[in-house]
Amino acid sequence: MSSKPPYVSLMIMNKEYRIACDEEEEDELIVSAQQLDVQMRKMRDSGKITGPDRIAVMAALNLAHELQLMKNKNIALNQRLNECLSRLTTKIDNVLDKD
C-alpha cells in the first residue's frame, strides 16, 4: 500500500497553497515558492501589472525565460567542456603514442 506524499504549506502573495510534495523535494519547493513570491510582489509593487492572474502569468513567464537562458548557457558550457576534454584526450593519446 503506497502512502500519499505529505503536503507542504506555501504562502505566495499572502495566499496559502497546500502542495503535495515528497519530503526530499520539500526544501527546493519552498525556495521556488519564495522566488515566485518575490517576483510577483515586484510586479505588483511596480504598478505596471494589475490583477493576481496577470501578475502570476508574467512572473511565471519571467521565471521560465530565466530557466531557458540557463539551459542554453548550460548547453554551451557542456559543449565547450566536451571540446576541451576532446583536445586533452588527443594530447594525452599523442604523448602515449610517442612512448
Q: How many CA atoms lie within 13 A of 60 on its CB side?
A: 7
Beta bridge partners, 8, equal 19
The residues spanned by each domain of the chain are 7-98
Determine what percent of the chain is predicted with pLDDT higher than 70: 96
Q: What is the model's pLDDT at position 99? A: 64
CATH superfamily of the domain spanning 7-98: Cell division protein ZapA protomer, N-terminal domain (3.30.160.880)
Asked whether the beta carbons of 77 and 57 are under 8 A apart, the reply is no
pLDDT of 28 above 70: yes
